Structure 1
């Protein structure tokens, strides 16, 4: 039995352009656990997940209602919202196949450094697009706005994760044969000021935070599940090539050469590299459908020492 952290990408709950209702997300979650049931049942596994569209929806609901909730509160709400969907789907898979494990959704905090340069240079887009005519109204909220191809979006800091506060609880649940859901959306960002913990408005990359967790709990394997079967170099070019088993030194060179997209594959590769550099055995990047094959060496990109 191995210990493994499984980081679910957004496609575990939603595909681009789909209606963001409970039923659609539940159906995807159910199929996700259909694919993962042998991995989670036969290993000590932790499930982590993103919260991209969901946290934006929650924040927008607050803005419309006039509540003006902090972004770190919206991240916390998204953990419960997504955790319910995943837990319900897993429980029904558990009943169908007679699986052993109980599932627990853990509201998880992630420590960041208040001096992280991301706080002076917010780049992470959240929420809907705004037109030129709506820009002034959006800025009245004190938001930093950035122009994209389809309009203006709010951008927020995305600091580097340092520590998972609930790691001892996750370890306890694993040790006692349970399936934890943790580090949702990268975790609720918190900082320490004079030894006192405070929430801070930011969004943490879930793959980087999952890598911190994987190292902290001594995971053997770290699996990042996304919407492609492999990592590619020269992506979209005539000489595009998929990576299968690749040593950490080699993929680190590709990273430094700018081979991976900023908002897509780059943080996944960074997270995998950090896990291996910090003592992990193997990191996998592949699709949900190929997760089982990837563990046996039959699919996906695997990063090794």
Structure 2
């Protein structure tokens, strides 16, 4: 196959924590260092690379801090939490990527960009918040956050959990800046956690403001890949290939598959909404929107996936 010219690599938020889920600063930096070495290997293929990442565990930790300190410090809105985790993960990834690139004898430098993603204020997701975030709490502890106007749901024996809107991403506001950095030779880290959700209150004046929401990181990765003119989207996950019939005796991995075939599998309910479903949907949106190929595979295989159609699950138009 022809090696692509520009690649977007989407890292999961769990790739930013320790193997046991530990989110101490040391565990996060060690995990990010491992991810950085794999991303540097992609850069070493001679392609321009844009990196985006998840932030679920990190936002969850910030929400716990908000809860514990709510009686002393006013909780900050969710868009602020996304911005804070973007900045923290971004600078750490930039540091570790710079080190990995230098160790590989590569001249590139890394730039991390705090990135906004435009959503529609009339998106139906705002009317029915459904994305669970943070930890479970007893009813009496959740009440103080209900009093602050947050949405919480009774999740049975586990307790109450906050739910937030998860609107569709419409555009990556800072795509022109990402383009400029890539064209200048930087490896760019951006759009973490799906991007900071913003709405446009004034179409003519571009009056943007943040909103309380969480955007699906994989769907933003597909949008980002199109908007920065990437020809390949690589989604790193914890399995080497997507499977149909997952968890059944008839389970089988998918290797090379057309968008039409993958769309049919998705329509048949083959992919869980909370795990593989968004990754498959992101891959489909990218290739159906003009992308050349999308690959879903493990972090360890992302550089192989960029240059080899026999690695991971490869989705083509």
- TM-score band by shorter chain is over 0.9
Question: 1:151 corresponds to which residue?
Answer: 159
Q: Which runs of 5 or more residues in structure 1 are unaligned?
A: none
| 8 Å CA contact retained: 1:6, 1:222 | yes
- Equivalents in 2 of 1:256, 1:176: separation in Å? 41
- Equivalents in 2 of 1:23, 1:88: separation in Å? 14
Q: Which runs of 5 or more residues in structure 2 are unaligned?
A: none
Q: 2:124 matched to 1:121? A: no
Q: 2:238 matched to 1:231? A: no
Question: 1:298 corresponds to which residue?
Answer: 310
Task: Work out which of the residue numbers 260, 265, 269 in structure 2 matches 1:254.
Answer: 265
Question: 1:6 corresponds to which residue?
Answer: 9
Question: 2:184 corresponds to which residue?
Answer: 176
Q: 2:103 matched to 1:103? A: no
Partner SS, residue 272 of structure 2 = coil
The structural deviation recorded for 1:15 is: 4.7
- Equivalents in 1 of 2:65, 2:14: separation in Å? 23
The structural deviation recorded for 1:80 is: 0.5
Question: 2:143 corresponds to which residue?
Answer: 136
Question: 2:201 corresponds to which residue?
Answer: 193
Partner SS, residue 168 of structure 2 = coil
Partner SS, residue 233 of structure 2 = strand
Question: 2:40 corresponds to which residue?
Answer: 37
Matched residues, number: 305
The structural deviation recorded for 1:299 is: 1.7
Q: CA RMSD in A?
A: 1.5
| 8 Å CA contact retained: 2:234, 2:305 | no
- Equivalents in 1 of 2:39, 2:143: separation in Å? 46
- Equivalents in 2 of 1:298, 1:25: separation in Å? 31
The structural deviation recorded for 1:35 is: 2.0
The structural deviation recorded for 1:60 is: 2.8
- Equivalents in 1 of 2:137, 2:90: separation in Å? 29
